[in-house]
Structure 1
Amino acid sequence: MMIEERHKLILEELKANPSVTVKELSKKLFVSEPTIRRDFTELHNKGIITKIHGGAIINTTAAYREIPFFLRENEKSIAKSEMGRRAAAMIEDGMVIMLDGSTSAYHIVPFLSQFKNLTVITSGAKTAVALAESNIRTFCTGGQMIIHSFSYVGKQAEDFVKNVNADILFFSCHGLDEKGRMTDNAIEEANIRRVMFEQSEKKILLCDSSKLGKTYFYNMGNISDIDDVISDVDIFHILHSTNT
């Protein structure tokens, strides 16, 4: 099992339980106890968890409510890259496009250098850097950075978005349930996406299969309110089958 996958599973366990022990995780993940201790130390040093005697607890501040970007970036990376390629097929020269701070939107960047006179607006810090390195005209919202996702939120970010217009928005969500509701568990990120909706002519959801059937606290709207969905599965067929 790759280290990134172990870290993701450890964080999922900690999100579901107040604390976990080295022994429990060693048995559940089929790895040695020293391996789990090393994982705990690395996550502790990154400020994501706190080590306690024989185990660990997750840090519960707003900055660490989510699995960090560096772990999510590698999750379903092949599927996200293919989704990025399909998203790029919807773009034309001279467009203004908007990307949220998700790892799904980040995977569109490698396919954008083929376009002429493209302008990209993003709330993702890592996405902005990748765009600039590709010599693409880039505007970053600025604002308060959410550490786990390297994305900008808050009034400053929202005010920036309110003053621009985009031809097309590519965004993600944390959960898409059987009723087609898009949800998030961080109100700040749900809010910036809602503002992006208002300022974009077309809205395209990037949603891989790991997000299906999940519901979080904050509503972002319904897929009936947007223009299309790009996924690694046939989402519309799945939703239709679920509701019939």
Structure 2
Amino acid sequence: MLARQRQDMILDEVRRTGAVQVSDLVQRLGVSDMTIRRDLDTLAARGAVEKVYGGATSVVDRSTDEPGFEAKSVYQPAEKEAIANRAARLVRPGSAIGLSAGTTTWTLARHLDEVADLTVVTNSVRIADVLQQRGRTDRTVILTGGVRTPSDALVGPVAVRTLHSLHLDLVFLGVHGMSTRAGFTTPNLDESETNRALARAANRLVVVADHAKWSTVGISTIVGLEEADVLISDDGLPEEARRVLGERIAELSIAPVGGEQHEPADTGRGETTRVESEQ
């Protein structure tokens, strides 16, 4: 097979599914790992795909572009693990919590095995499946229902009505982007409405967002920066972003990708935000 034919096949797969992994392409196309990586380099140079760790995804430029779950799952996997590990520490036995749909919150769901007597409300079938497959008998999982989006969120009036009647100790909100101007955003209008209802149900709102979400803006604002009680990100978050977010959010928690150290910081709001990072 000629290189151009192979690259066209790879591009077709990216367009169809939203993402490809090098290991899968090696098996499917019967060529070496290095050959696939060179093909991805060529496609990325043409602006046809975006290279990520272990593969490539479709290019997302517009505020309404919404990658599928598989496409998003290959973005910053180590960062999401670090964020999920930090977020799981906030959950206490006997809590009622909410998890919005998304790959970071899905990762968090897999870190909740040791929490007893947990009630979880989610608008994600994937998260509900993870929680129910863990085999715990002291766990209640409530799925909101609704219409499924490309990113596997359940949204719309059914989901919103369910959430309006609930009161949750903690809500963990995954987002598409965060910025000073737009706050926390999503590319899907219906998902934004559903996530706002979930956020309103929270006694404490925790946003989980890796550093790549900074300065990314979706079409619709879920909540403003000040409405989050806690933001958990990773140590790839730029210093300027940390300064801005620390001034707007009550608690900014930075999860190092490998290793844990603790350092208090002044937020500029007259409060103390715990910024935890690797020095």
What is the TM-score normalised by the length of structure 1? 0.74
* Match 1:138 to one of 141, 144, 147: 141
- Alignment check: 8 A CA contact 1:179 1:239 kept: no
Find out whether 1:125 has 2:128 as its counterpart.
no
- Alignment check: 8 A CA contact 1:176 1:215 kept: yes
- In the alignment, which residue of structure 2 is the partner of 1:41? 12
- In the alignment, which residue of structure 2 is the partner of 1:86? 86
- Alignment check: 8 A CA contact 2:96 2:120 kept: yes
* Match 2:214 to one of 212, 215, 225: 212
- Alignment check: 8 A CA contact 2:183 2:221 kept: yes
State the AA in 1 paired with 2:144. Answer: T
- Alignment check: 8 A CA contact 2:17 2:71 kept: no
Whole-angstrom distance in 1 between the partners of 2:74 and 2:131: 19
* Match 2:203 to one of 190, 201, 204: 201
Q: How does 1:70-81 map to 2 (within 5 A)?
A: 70-81=70-81
Percent identity over the alignment is: 20
- Alignment check: 8 A CA contact 1:180 1:239 kept: no
Whole-angstrom distance in 2 between the partners of 1:84 and 1:47: 24
- In the alignment, which residue of structure 2 is the partner of 1:5? none
The 1:231–1:214 alpha-carbon spacing in structure 2 relative to 1, beyond 3 Å, is same
- Alignment check: 8 A CA contact 2:174 2:207 kept: yes
**Secondary structure of the structure 2 residue equivalent to 1:91:** coil
**Secondary structure of the structure 2 residue equivalent to 1:231:** strand
Once the two structures are TM-superposed, the CA of residue 39 in structure 1 deviates from its matched residue by: 1.9
What are the superposed Cα offsets for residues 108-164 of structure 1, whole Å, 9 maximum, x if unpaired?
112111011001110111111011101342111111011x21110000011111122
Whole-angstrom distance in 2 between the partners of 1:112 and 1:240: 27
Whole-angstrom distance in 1 between the partners of 2:80 and 2:12: 29
What are the superposed Cα offsets for residues 39-86 of structure 1, whole Å, 9 maximum, x if unpaired?
2333455599xxxxxxx9x9xxxxx94111012112111110111110
State the AA in 1 paired with 2:8. Answer: R
State the AA in 2 paired with 1:110. Answer: R
Find out whether 1:68 has 2:68 as its counterpart.
yes
- In the alignment, which residue of structure 2 is the partner of 1:26? none
- In the alignment, which residue of structure 2 is the partner of 1:156? 158
Question: Greater helix percent: which structure?
Answer: 1
Once the two structures are TM-superposed, the CA of residue 36 in structure 1 deviates from its matched residue by: 2.2
Counting matched residue pairs gives 200
State the AA in 2 paired with 1:230. Answer: I
Whole-angstrom distance in 1 between the partners of 2:108 and 2:204: 16
State the AA in 2 paired with 1:137. Answer: T
The 1:80–1:38 alpha-carbon spacing in structure 2 relative to 1, beyond 3 Å, is same
**Secondary structure of the structure 2 residue equivalent to 1:120:** strand
Q: Point out which structure has higher relative CO (alpha carbons under 8 A, 6+ apart).
A: 1
Q: How does 1:182-193 map to 2 (within 5 A)?
A: 182-193=184-195
State the AA in 1 paired with 2:221. Answer: N
Unaligned runs of 5+ in 2: 20-47, 49-57, 59-63, 248-279
Whole-angstrom distance in 2 between the partners of 1:35 and 1:192: 41
Whole-angstrom distance in 2 between the partners of 1:193 and 1:199: 10
- In the alignment, which residue of structure 2 is the partner of 1:110? 110
- Alignment check: 8 A CA contact 2:182 2:221 kept: no
| CA RMSD, 1 decimal | 2.7
Whole-angstrom distance in 1 between the partners of 2:127 and 2:161: 20
Once the two structures are TM-superposed, the CA of residue 200 in structure 1 deviates from its matched residue by: 0.8
